[in-house]
Structure 1
Amino acid sequence: MSLATLEKYLPKDALFYVEKWLQPFPIEIRISRNRESKLGDYRYHPIKRCHQISVNYNLPPDLFFFVLSHEIAHLLVRVSFPRAQAHGPEWKNAYRELLLESVLVYQEDFQPLVEQFSTNPKANFSVSPEIVNYFRPQTNASSFDGLKSGNLFEFRQQRYQLLEKKKKRYLCRNVSTGKEYLFQACAEIKIVANDSR
């Protein structure tokens, strides 16, 4: 796919940065179906001797560019530091530089969140409730705010009970199976009334 084809997925003026960052590299960019497990992906293809980036097609333009920048940071680190950890200090620095260089491309109300996130970029933006809430569709979904130990909620059509908060995540038990799971604070849940189950 040509870089110009990306323009319809990006915020206004973002293509300039994408072309600038990727211009010297052999690259294949793929617009992917909606994947629940990830929003984007970077790989180096040794046989084709090119970099490959995929980003989910259904992301809003600001999130698409945010994810694409994350994957481009992987490419830049792979080229400069082939043995670096996937989300180690080299990647954090590269991602920070890309975010700050292009911050004005984002919607004005999203720019402060990008700047805040860039102070210590994480591998997954879902650990940033502010960013998750910014992109969360206006639904009846709730989060763990206000839930107490013992409260029940539904997640992906399964019922869970909140056991306790562990640092930034929540330990919960699946009511049907008894298995315990850790949930991110920003997971979209549906609070249900407590009953005798």
Structure 2
Amino acid sequence: MRRTFFMAKNRMKNKKIDSFFDHFPPKVAEYCFQLWHDYSFDFIVSKSRDSKLGDYRFSPAKGHQVTVNHNLNPYAFLVTYIHEVAHLTTYLAHKNKVLPHGQEWKTEFYQLFEPILDEDLLPAELVKVLRAYLQNPAASSNGYQPLVDILKSFDAEPPAGTPLIELEEGAAFALKNLRFIKGKLRRTRYICKEINSGRNYLVAKHAYVLPFENS
């Protein structure tokens, strides 16, 4: 009944909320929905983006906005969602006076996750990895390999192609109808040169790409 009430009350504010419960692990969906209700942000299930899994934005005109890529499995969706909500709660507490992924954000991230770090709610192995990760979370979940591996294990089907991180520097690959040469790593993304235009792009190190022989 509470879910129906909240959804009816806020339907005009955010029409996309009808599909909210389709994206989270079922035992924690109500908690995630409650965060949306309590902090009153625009929640957008976004198209797939190679550059990021989700983001948080604030503007005086539009308020708070959280987006998460639609193609993530429920557990990866959950981690990304709470990561971004932690940016929101950090902003509410400190505005722009702290680093985006500084200690204040790390504390918020842990505190938001802590109520559902329970083996009755989430798979035991995931809870174990999350507890270790949340002691000092990276700016991206892709920056902690045990978390990358456990989240990938919940994918319904393995993506086509090869993770970019497994290719040698200088290897050629295709991504989204563009062809690239792999360059050097910058934090969690590789600088890759698009072959036709010569422009450089940042590509996530765990993005699945299609290697090919560059003649």
TM-score (norm 1): 0.72
Query: Are residues 1:66 and 2:79 paired?
Result: yes
CA contact (8 A) 2:162 2:211 kept: yes
Unmatched tracts of structure 1, length 5 or more: none
1:141-181 per-residue CA deviation (whole Å, 9 max, x = no partner) reads: 20245533443222222222334556765444333233344
Q: How much does 1:95 deviate?
A: 0.5
* Counterpart-to-counterpart distance in 2, 1:26 and 1:152: 45
Which residue, 113, 125, 129 being the options, matches 1:99? 113
User: How many residue pairs end up in the alignment?
Assistant: 193
1:142 maps to: 162
Query: Are residues 1:153 and 2:153 paired?
Result: no
Residues 99-118 of structure 1: matches in 2 within 5 Å? 99-104=113-118, 105-118=121-134
* Counterpart-to-counterpart distance in 2, 1:27 and 1:20: 10
Higher relative helix content: 2
Unmatched tracts of structure 2, length 5 or more: 1-5, 11-16
Query: Are residues 1:90 and 2:104 paired?
Result: yes
Q: How much does 1:90 deviate?
A: 0.5
Query: Are residues 1:174 and 2:190 paired?
Result: no
CA 1:161–1:33 in structure 2 vs 1: closer, same or farther (change >3 Å)? closer
TM-score (norm 2): 0.67
Q: Indicate the SS of the match to 1:110.
A: helix
- The one-letter amino acid of 1:142's match is T
- The one-letter amino acid of 2:134's match is S
- The one-letter amino acid of 1:17's match is Y
Query: Are residues 1:192 and 2:186 paired?
Result: no
Aligned-pair RMSD on alpha carbons?
A: 3.5
Q: Indicate the SS of the match to 2:158.
A: coil
Alignment identity in percent?
24
